[in-house]
A and B are shown apart, each in its own frame.
Chain A
Amino acid sequence: DARVTQTPRHKVTEMGQEVTMRCQPILGHNTVFWYRQTMMQGLELLAYFRNRAPLDDSGMPKDRFSAEMPDATLATLKIQPSEPRDSAVYFCATVLVNTEAFFGQGTRLTVV
Chain B
Amino acid sequence: DQQVKQNSPSLSVQEGRISILNCDYTNSMFDYFLWYKKYPAEGPTFLISISSIKDKNEDGRFTVFLNKSAKHLSLHIVPSQPGDSAVYFCAAQGGANNLFFGTGTRLTVIP
A residues near B (Cβ < 8 Å) are 4, 31, 33, 35, 40-45, 48, 50, 55-56, 91, 93, 95, 97-98, 100-106
Please classify the interface of chain A as helix (H, G, I), strand (E, B), loop, or mixed, using the class held by over half of its residues: strand
Q: Return 13 A-B CB contacts under 8 Å, by A number.
A: A4-B43, A35-B101, A42-B102, A43-B44, A45-B99, A48-B98, A48-B99, A50-B97, A55-B96, A93-B43, A98-B97, A100-B46, A101-B99
CB atoms of B46 and A105 under 8 A apart: no
| Residues of chain B whose beta carbon lies under 8 Å from any beta carbon of chain A | 2, 6, 34, 36, 41-46, 49, 89, 91, 96-104
Contacts known (A91-B43, A103-B44, A105-B43); A41 close to B103, Cβ less than 8 A: yes
Complex contacts, A101 vs chain B, CB 8 Å:
34, 46, 91, 99
Residues of A within 8 A of B98 (CB): 33, 45, 48, 55-56
Asked if residues B99 and A95 are in contact (CB atoms below 8 Å), the reply is yes
Cβ of B91: which chain A residues have Cβ within 8 Å of it? 43, 101
Chain B residues with CB under 8 A of A98: 97
**B46 and A106 contact, CB distance less than 8 A:** no
Which residues on the B side are within 8 Å of A106 (C-beta)? 42-43
Q: How far is the CA of A45 from the CA of B93 in the complex (A)?
A: 12
